[in-house]
Amino acid sequence: MNQEGDEMMTQECGMKTATQVKKTTLLKRMIRSEELSFLMEAHSGLSAKIAEEAGFAGIWASGLSISASLGVRDNNEASWTQVLEVSEFMSDATAVPILLDGDTGYGNFNSMRRLVRKLEQRGIAGVCVEDKLFPKANSFIRGKTQPLADVEEFCGKIRAGKDAQLDDDFVIVARVEALIAGWGLEEALRRAKAYHRAGADAILIHSARADAGEVLAFKQEWDDRAPVVIVPTKYYNTPTRVFREAGFSVVIWANHLLRSSLVAMQETARELFTRQSLVEIEGRVASLKEVFRLQDEPELEWAERLYLPSRSAPETARGGDFTLDDSNRTEMNGESTAPQTRHDYELAVGGRR
C-alpha cells in the first residue's frame, strides 16, 4: 500500500466508496497519541470482529493466541506464512488497524524485509518484533533462559524493516525482553535506545513480574523519547489509571479473547459429553442468527439480489436458510424493500470497509 498522504480511496466491486484513513495511519496516530490507547487480542477473523464490535480501535494479533488456536505451541511451530494467512482473515474482517506480533521477525534482516512487504500487501498496519532468537519460546514459559539477540543484529533488522516498508505510516514496534531475561533496567534502556535510534516507532517493554514496578521504572528513565507499549498480563492487578498517569502509549490485552473462549468451549464440550442432549445447552450458546450476522450474511443476500439474474434466485439457490428479515428491510434506507444498489446497502449498514 503505497498511497500518498493520510487518506486513501477504498475500491470495492469496481466502485469508489468513501474516503477512509489508512489502517497504518490510524495505528501510527494511536501510538503517537497523548492518550492511553488499548489493543485487544484476537486470533481469527471472528475474534477480530468481536474485538472491533466491542469498541476497540485496534487489534493485537497475538502469536500465543494464533498458535494456540491452531493447536500448536508458541515456538514458531506455525510458519510465518500460516500466521500471515490468519492475519489476513483478521484484516479482511475488520476496519480497525492490526498490530501483528511478529515474534523475532521469523529469521534475520532479510526475513524481516519480506515480512514487512507481505504485511503491507495484506492490510496489516504494523508489526512488533522481539529481541530474542528464532525459534523463540513464549516469554512466560522460558523467559529467563532465552538468549537475547545481539543488539547490533537486532538494530539491523529494524532498519531493514523500516527501509522495506512502502507506506510511510507502517508501524514497527521493537520489543525489549531484557527485563524478562533478567538483565535489568540498564540493559533494557540500552537496548531500547538503540532500537529507537534504528528507527523503531515505539518500544514495547515486557515484564513477567506480578507488579508494574519495573515497567514503571523503565518509563520513568525513558521519559518521552518514543511511545512505550506495555502488556500487563502478569501485573493485571495494577489499575489502568497508573498506566495512564505514567504516560504509556498503548496497553495490550494480550490473550483474553482466547482464554475466555477456552473456558466457554471446555464447559460446553464437557456438558454435551455428559448429558448427551442439547436441551440445557441451546439457551447458553450464541444463536445461529448471531453467527450469520458476524459473518455478514445479509451482505451476500443483498449482493445476490443485485448480481444474480433472477431476484428470486437467492432463496432458491441457497435453500433460503437466511434471508433479509423485516427488520433488515426497514433499516435499509428507511424503506420496506431491500436496497437496490451497493451504495444503498452501505448507507443502510452504516458504511462498510
Contacts to ligand SPV by CB under 6 A: 62-64, 101, 138-140, 231, 233, 254-255
Structural Rg of the chain based on CA atoms: 22
Minimum CB distance to ligand SPV, residue 204 (Å): 9
Q: Is 74 a catalytic residue?
A: yes
- Contacts of range 281-289, beta carbons closer than 8 Å, 24 or more positions apart: 289/322
Minimum CB distance to ligand SPV, residue 69 (Å): 12
Residue nearest to Mg ion (CB): 63
* Contact of residue 233 among ligand SPV, Mg ion, none (CB under 5-8 Å per partner type): ligand SPV
CB atoms within 10 A of CB 11: 9
Q: What is the DSSP string of 265-285?
A: HHHHHHHHHHH--STTTGGGS
Q: Which amino acid, 162? A: K
* Contact of residue 231 among ligand SPV, Mg ion, none (CB under 5-8 Å per partner type): ligand SPV
* Contact of residue 183 among ligand SPV, Mg ion, none (CB under 5-8 Å per partner type): none
Minimum CB distance to ligand SPV, residue 67 (Å): 8
Out of 41, 52, 101, 201, point to the residue binding Mg ion (CB under 5 A).
Answer: 101
Element (H, E) at 311: none
* Distance between CA atoms of residues 217 and 223, nearest Å: 10
Angle at 263 between CA 78 and CA 66, to 5 degrees: 15
Minimum CB distance to ligand SPV, residue 62 (Å): 3
3-class state of residue 223 by DSSP: coil
Buried b (16+ CB within 10 A) or exposed e, 81-115: eebbebbbebbebbebbbbbbbbbbbbebebbbbb
State the catalytic residue, choosing from 74, 101, 167, 201: 74
Between 64 and 332, name the residue whose CB sits nearer to Mg ion. 64
Question: In sequence order, what are the residues at sequence separation of 6 or more whose Cβ sits closer than 8 angstroms to the Cβ of residue 97?
Answer: 23, 24, 26, 27, 30, 57, 58, 59, 125, 126
Question: Up-side HSE of residue 144: CA atoms within 13 Å toward CB?
Answer: 3
Task: Give the count of residues interacting with Mg ion (CB under 5 A).
Answer: 3
* Contact of residue 139 among ligand SPV, Mg ion, none (CB under 5-8 Å per partner type): ligand SPV
Between 101 and 214, name the residue whose CB sits nearer to Mg ion. 101
Tell me the β-bridge partners of 172.
127
Minimum CB distance to ligand SPV, residue 117 (Å): 22
* Contact of residue 214 among Mg ion, ligand SPV, none (CB under 5-8 Å per partner type): none
Minimum CB distance to ligand SPV, residue 57 (Å): 18
Between 61 and 158, name the residue whose CB sits nearer to Mg ion. 61
276 phi, psi to nearest 5 deg = 50, 40
Between 3 and 75, name the residue whose CB sits nearer to Mg ion. 75
* Contact of residue 314 among ligand SPV, Mg ion, none (CB under 5-8 Å per partner type): none
Positions in 61-90 near Mg ion (CB under 5 A): 63-64
Between 31 and 348, name the residue whose CB sits nearer to ligand SPV. 31
Between 51 and 338, name the residue whose CB sits nearer to Mg ion. 51
Asked if residue 124 lies in contact with residue 101, where contact means CB atoms within 8 angstroms, the answer is no
**Residues forming the active site:** 74
Q: Which residues bind Mg ion (CB under 5 A)?
A: 63-64, 101
